[in-house]
Structure 1
Amino acid sequence: MYNKQPIGFIDSGVGGLTVVKEALKQLPNENILYVGDTARCPYGPRPAEQVIDYTWEMTRYLLARDIKMLVIACNTATAVALEEIKAALSIPVVGVILPGTRAALKTTKNNKIGIIGTVGTINSGSYEAALKQKAPQTTLASLACPKFVPIVESNEYYSSVAKKIVAETLQPLKHKQLDTLILGCTHYPLLRPIIQNVMGHSVTLIDSGAETVGEVSMLLDYFSIANAPQTAEQKICEFYTTGSANMFEKIADSWLNLTELSVTHIDLGGNIHAS
Structure 2
Amino acid sequence: MAPPPQSGPVFKVLHRTVFEYDAPVRDSMNTLHLEPRTFPFQRTLSAVVRVLPATRVRRFNDLFENVTHHFEIASEHRKLEIESRIRIQNLPLAVPDASRAAMLHEYRGGDIPERTWAYLQESRFVSRHPQIWRQALDLTNGIDPVYEQALAIMRWVHREFRYEAGSTSVNTHLEEAFRLRRGVCQDFTHVMLGLCRAVGIPARYASGYLYNGPRDHLVGAQASHAWPEVFFPGVGWIGFDPTNDTLADERYIKIAVGRDYDDVAPVRGTYHGRGHCKMSVTVEVEKME
What is the TM-score when the length of structure 1 is the normalising length?
0.22
Who wins on radius of gyration, i.e. which is larger?
2
Greater per-residue strand proportion = 2
Q: Which has the higher helix share?
A: 1
Normalising to structure 2: TM-score of the pair? 0.22
